[in-house]
Structure 1
Amino acid sequence: MESTKQTLLVGGLLVDVYSHPTSSSTDPIHALFFLHGRFGSAQDSNVVNTIKAIFDESYGPGSGGGERKKDLIPVAFVSHTSSPVNHGSRLVDQKRKSEGLAKNNHQHAVDMYTIQTGTAEDVSFLIDHLPSFLYPSGERTIVGWGICGVSLGGNSTWIALSREPRLTLGIPIIGCPDYTKLISQRAQSSSIPISPPYFSTSFKTYIETHDPAQLAYRARDASNPFLGKKVLVLSGKEDKIVPWVASAEFVDGLEVGEGGVKRVVVEEGVGHEFTSGMRREAGLFVREWLSGAVL
């Protein structure tokens, strides 16, 4: 059975909210934000196919993930986070959208990071206000929030997880939690110095203060923003765009505590792609979340 979609305008953001035809009218709800990658849109096949895969696992016959106890509403952005600044309906400068780090594009590094941090801020904004638009009379209650993102959306997923305590589940797919390592590799391959005008002092200071890799992600106390969260990391071993080596140290050292879950799948022979195997892993992880198996 096909899922249904409704589009809401929340504070100027167009948001697509999906629901499964067999959803009950009384079960508690978990909401899962889905953030697509660079050059994508909320309507592209990655979004639609991933939501279908997650619904198939969550609402299909039992497959080891436990019985679903909560309903799920996937949430995809149309005009802001999922089609971020200078993307989709917000496209202003095609050149700055298309070009990577290069001699004639001084803004690439900061462009990419401001998109990612803006996305994370929009997720928090929607957690604040989406329930009022979905259920204006208090018909149902969203009791859990999760986030899943691919590529650029995967980078945003890491940032959102590190900043928004209400997000309890995160699935970063072919993304990276360490912006300094990622962009340094790109700068080196493009013969770009890690200095102005490509990397301003204020920008480097911001990264060194706020990036997930600069936080207390190894700690076992309240200073660690990832403690207690459920994280599924999906990456390709042969990824040249977002190399696994840029993420490995962070992921290996990431501490989620006794109440958290850390699961890592790095597919052999896979580059910068969102594979069917990754979709299945994401679907199973969400199923466990809905059943309470990873809570």
Structure 2
Amino acid sequence: MKQTTVIIAGLNVHTYATESFASSIKPILALFVLHGRLGSTESPYIQDLIAALVGGAADNERERDLLVVAFDHRNHGTRLRAQVANLDFKDNPNHVHDMYSVQTGTAKDVSFVMDFLPAYLFTSGERSIVEWGVAGVSLGGHSTWIAAAEDPRVKIAIPIIGCPDYLGLMGLRAEAQGIAIAPPHFPESLLRVIRASTPTGLPYTSKEDGNPFLGKKVLILSGANDPLVPWSASEKFVKGLEVGSGSKEVIVQPGAGHEVTPEMVMAAVAFILRML
């Protein structure tokens, strides 16, 4: 596996590809892989997922090449400024603010990198990225849902132990800790922002215009026993989600908690290989 790093406006953007990628002229599928809260691009579960994806692409003759793209979330890894802002209600009264701003900021970073990465990698236009996808774990899974909803260029989405219903998830978390869904933990100004911009605030269960998931390929991977991002927080939205001519696959792994299991990695790799 070959890794390169480009710096775009101060953001370290890492790319991973097969050894044969540099000499290929095939069109490219670029897949972002986003890490979880308290992690980074160097977290073992992220590096293992990236290695499995690139390894799978190397072992198969496909019409397109795979390029995996990764960067640190805001306030994580090389971008860390305040560790307390990444903590739960117990240590951080702004948990709702901080986690939502990070995941929405990361979705915006995905769009930003899509704008500029081809110019940095292929200065003479010698290669083309013909399709974009996003896969993310936990916090990265939340960002995956948002990026797929907000940017029409994202055609493939693999949220892993993530949730599309932010308020539903945070409501369960607050209830478990005896916190009211009211100020100061849930300011009304923040609730307005969340309700206007999260996937559950839009008509994604519709087959008509206005549903940005139409035509997209989505693989949802969750643990049936996940205590941190319980399947119950996502289930209603996922079951109602319409993708039209796209595809929707849902795997809720029995016995799995808040973890990236080998079975989830295998499912993600198989899903991506079918796109190449």
* 2:67 equivalent to 1:73: yes
Q: Deviations over 1:207-235 (max 9, x none)?
A: 11111111111111221011100000000
Q: Distance in 1 between matches of 2:64 and 2:125?
A: 17
Which of 1, 5, 8 does residue 7 from structure 1 map onto?
5
| 1:154–1:176 CA contact under 8 A, matched in 2 | yes
Q: Which amino acid aligns with 2:81?
A: V
Q: Distance in 2 between matches of 1:142 and 1:213?
A: 30
Hey, what does 1:93 align to over in structure 2?
Answer: 82
Q: Distance in 1 between matches of 2:142 and 2:240?
A: 17
In the TM superposition, what is the alpha-carbon distance from 1:101 to its structure 2 partner?
1.6
Task: Classify the secondary structure of the residue corresponding to 2:45.
Answer: helix
Task: Classify the secondary structure of the residue corresponding to 2:215.
Answer: coil
Hey, what does 1:280 align to over in structure 2?
Answer: 266
* 2:166 equivalent to 1:179: yes
Which of 136, 139, 146 does residue 149 from structure 1 map onto?
136
Hey, what does 2:251 align to over in structure 1?
Answer: 265
In the TM superposition, what is the alpha-carbon distance from 1:191 to its structure 2 partner?
0.8
TM-score normalized with structure 2 length: 0.97
Q: Distance in 2 between matches of 1:245 and 1:134?
A: 41
Q: Which amino acid aligns with 1:92?
A: R
Hey, what does 1:212 align to over in structure 2?
Answer: 199
| 2:52–2:269 CA contact under 8 A, matched in 1 | yes
* 2:229 equivalent to 1:242: yes
Q: Which amino acid aligns with 1:169?
A: I
In the TM superposition, what is the alpha-carbon distance from 1:106 to its structure 2 partner?
2.2
Q: Which amino acid aligns with 2:10?
A: G
Aligned length: 275
* 2:73 equivalent to 1:48: no
Unaligned runs of 5+ in 1: 62-66, 291-295
Task: Classify the secondary structure of the residue corresponding to 1:131.
Answer: helix
In the TM superposition, what is the alpha-carbon distance from 1:260 to its structure 2 partner?
0.2
Which of 103, 107, 118 does residue 105 from structure 2 map onto?
118
Q: Which amino acid aligns with 1:20?
A: T
Q: Distance in 1 between matches of 2:2 and 2:92?
A: 41
In the TM superposition, what is the alpha-carbon distance from 1:206 to its structure 2 partner?
1.1
Hey, what does 1:64 align to over in structure 2?
Answer: none
Which of 125, 141, 145 does residue 138 from structure 1 map onto?
125
Q: Which amino acid aligns with 1:101?
A: F
Q: Distance in 2 between matches of 1:85 and 1:276?
A: 27
Structural RMSD (CA)? 1.2
Q: Which amino acid aligns with 1:87?
A: H
| 1:86–1:92 CA contact under 8 A, matched in 2 | yes
**Shift >4 Å, 4+ stretches:** none
| 2:54–2:68 CA contact under 8 A, matched in 1 | no
Task: Classify the secondary structure of the residue corresponding to 1:289.
Answer: coil
Unaligned runs of 5+ in 2: none
Overall identity of the aligned pairs, in %: 48
Q: Which amino acid aligns with 2:69?
A: V
